[in-house]
Structure 1
Amino acid sequence: MPFVEVTSSTGKTKFKYTICTPSSEEAKEIDAGLPTILFLHPVSLAEYLFTGQFSDQQLRRCNLVSFDLRGHGNTFGDSAPCDYGQVEAAEDTIQLMALLQNSLNLPPCHLVGVSSGTIIALQLAVTQPQRILSMFLISQSCTEMPAEVAGGHHEILDLWTCAFPDKTTTLPELISDAEFGQRQYLFTEPKLSPLVDAILSLTSKVAKKRWCYPFLDQYQILNHDFNVNRSSTSQMALAQITSPVILAYGSGDVAYPQIYTEQFLHELLEAGVDASLLVIKNAPHCMIPDYSKK
């Protein structure tokens, strides 16, 4: 299990990462002759979300790279500060990419971001455009969150927090209610496949260990605040993007109407970005496990 230690303005983090090449599912280095795709998962999940992509023979013609975000999966380190957001997450990612460039010859990458992972991808493209060849943003979250969607996230936060009232008490029914809300947001409950069930089962086990009573502040910072407190990017900043962008939207998304993504597409085009929209019929917000081949 490879790790790279990153030191940024918000502390030290030991990021767990994966490199997949045509010849190896867990490669130790980049194949220098192939394009590289870097995957950015949403908050609350982890890099195992990309199981379908890393087993896809078409994509396996490239280098596929993913990692667990700060405080997620098998990534460990200093606690995230209360103001940890898209700028800080992008800084962590830039430092990680720089270290992998030095040690493993990580080249400029094609980015795939999902949901809140698109926030980080966009920040990378605005601040470090030379590192990015293209972006495929799935269920983009690159503009301010609508108030009605934020309300749902507030409810999930309240349920999760109340599920751990003290260091000796856990209320499983409240955990279940919080997880139901998260499933509904991400996967349009109850339409869950065996793969999604497996992903959520693993997510639940990790979450109950990493974000229980002593660490509820990290749950709020890394899951709730990261999403809800995000901000839109100015047209001047968007104009710094030099790579083409494809926005993928699932018409089965229960949280965001299509107009939300169309408005962001308009902002990109107005800024002179080469951008287009791909609509996936009936796909949920987090479409990547079950719609990986569509």
Structure 2
Amino acid sequence: MPHLKVNSPTGDVNFFYNITTPASPSSPAIDPNLPSVLFIHGEYVPQQIFEAQFSDPELRNRFNLIGIDLRGYGATGGFTPKTYTPTHAAHDLYLFLEALQISKIHIFALSINTHIALVLAATHPDLVHSLMLCSTVPPQEPEGVAAGRVELFEFWSDSQVQESGGRGLKGFDEDLLATLLKGAQQMLFSDNATPLAEAVTLVSLEYNAIGWAGTPEARETGHTFCLDWFLERRVFDVDFFSKIGCPVAIIHCEDDIAYPFGHAEELQAQLTQAGNARVTLCQIPGPRYANVLYPEILNPIIRNHILSVTEPNNPPGKGVSVVKKESLLETPFKEILAKYGYRADSSDEDSE
């Protein structure tokens, strides 16, 4: 499992990451001849949320794809301090990319962690070549959505069987945990419980049961990422947005039950009014994490956005094989997703 230790002002962090190139699903380095895309996951889930992007030959044969578990998520190690914000996370990612000697990056980010992408683009404009922001959040959390997130976290806390003293899923009440999962899946995937959505949910649960439960420090980490990042998030001003000059694609998912289309329009207006003339906005079908459910619609948007801002006729990397367009390629997430019943080479019916 590839890890990279970064010495950060907020404490050392041992990032778990994957680099996928045309030549390999798990490469030690990027192909320098190709554009690189950093995928930043959203709330509750680690990098396996991008299985449908990493398996797509239309993306894999054109770009380096980089997945990472943020601090406090997945297999990334390192203590999360009490004061840890998307601004701190953006600096950690800058140090991570610097350590990998990546000097230009495109970013695809989900949900609340689009704030990380925005901060990285504002503070390091020479590094970030373009942004793709999917399921963005408004400046402040709507009252009803905030109440829903508080309720989910209360279920998470209540479902932990304190007297067990155990880490992992053995320390949880199964009935309460089932209620929690149903609520989280409704917010992220609506009623579309596909095999991939189910597997991603269970992978996330496995990691979060260790990282966000069992000790006071772990519970505090869970509070940071499940509540603090939403309820206490930074409100960006015109001066901040004026520092983002790269092309920005804002992608809104039509069935997002938390944030309506108007919030995405507001972000587009803020960036445009701040002087960025290269901001586009589109809608796609599906719930908040539609990248899992509708990759056939989202992935071409990712591909076309990157190609529109990079030099044309980028030479392909060495070892690129000819792959049928409908074929899905192996990803670094194959083994852990298979543990929970997902196989990319089988139909939904077979997986179920």
TM-score by length of 1: 0.94
Cα separation, 1, equivalents of 2:223 and 2:251: 27
Q: Where does residue 219 of structure 1 map in the other structure?
A: 222
5 Å matches for 1:214-253? Answer: 214=215, 215-253=218-256
Amino acid at match of 1:74: A
- Which whole-Å deviations, capped at 9, do the CAs of 1:128-155 have from their partners, x for residues lacking one? 1111111010001262222221111111
Amino acid at match of 1:240: K
- The structure whose residues are more often strand, as a share, is 1
Cα separation, 2, equivalents of 1:5 and 1:26: 18
Amino acid at match of 1:45: V
Q: Where does residue 136 of structure 1 map in the other structure?
A: 132
SS in 2 for 1:8: coil
Alignment pair present for 1:201 and 2:202? yes
Q: Where does residue 77 of structure 1 map in the other structure?
A: 78
Cα separation, 1, equivalents of 2:104 and 2:250: 20
Q: Where does residue 31 of structure 1 map in the other structure?
A: 31
Contact between 2:86 and 2:113, CA under 8 Å: does it hold in 1? no
Cα separation, 1, equivalents of 2:163 and 2:20: 40
Aligned-residue Cα RMSD (Å) equals: 1.3
Amino acid at match of 2:23: S
Q: Where does residue 107 of structure 1 map in the other structure?
A: 103
Amino acid at match of 2:295: S
Cα separation, 1, equivalents of 2:181 and 2:91: 29
Cα separation, 1, equivalents of 2:189 and 2:235: 25
Amino acid at match of 1:115: S
- How far residue 262 of structure 1 moved from its aligned partner, in angstroms, is 0.8
SS in 2 for 1:111: strand
- How far residue 165 of structure 1 moved from its aligned partner, in angstroms, is 4.8
- Which of 141, 145, 150 aligns to 1:145? It is 141
Alignment pair present for 1:280 and 2:281? no
Cα separation, 1, equivalents of 2:233 and 2:178: 26
Cα separation, 2, equivalents of 1:229 and 1:172: 31
Cα separation, 2, equivalents of 1:136 and 1:217: 30
Identity %: 31
Amino acid at match of 1:2: P
SS in 1 for 2:7: strand
- Which of 134, 144, 152 aligns to 1:156? It is 152
5 Å matches for 1:51-130? Answer: 51-60=51-60, 61-78=62-79, 80-101=80-101, 106-130=102-126
Alignment pair present for 1:267 and 2:270? yes
Give the direction of change, closer, same or farther, for the CA distance of 1:69–1:167 in structure 2 (3 Å limit): farther
Give the direction of change, closer, same or farther, for the CA distance of 1:201–1:165 in structure 2 (3 Å limit): closer
5 Å matches for 1:40-59? Answer: 40-59=40-59
Cα separation, 2, equivalents of 1:8 and 1:147: 34
- Which whole-Å deviations, capped at 9, do the CAs of 1:6-37 have from their partners, x for residues lacking one? 11121011001110110000011111111111
Amino acid at match of 1:25: P
Cα separation, 1, equivalents of 2:144 and 2:15: 34
Unmatched tracts of structure 2, length 5 or more: 165-170, 298-352
- Which stretch has the larger CA shift, 149-158 or 198-207? 198-207
- How far residue 48 of structure 1 moved from its aligned partner, in angstroms, is 0.8
- Which stretch has the larger CA shift, 33-42 or 201-210? 201-210
Q: Where does residue 341 of structure 2 map in the other structure?
A: none
Q: Which of 1 and 2 has higher RCO (CA within 8 Å, sep 6+)?
A: 2
Cα separation, 2, equivalents of 1:229 and 1:127: 21
TM-score by length of 2: 0.79
Contact between 1:89 and 1:120, CA under 8 Å: does it hold in 2? yes
Alignment pair present for 1:185 and 2:181? no
- How far residue 179 of structure 1 moved from its aligned partner, in angstroms, is 1.9
Cα separation, 2, equivalents of 1:152 and 1:93: 29
Moved over 3 A (4+): none
SS in 2 for 1:284: coil
Contact between 2:158 and 2:176, CA under 8 Å: does it hold in 1? yes
SS in 1 for 2:290: coil
Contact between 1:153 and 1:228, CA under 8 Å: does it hold in 2? no
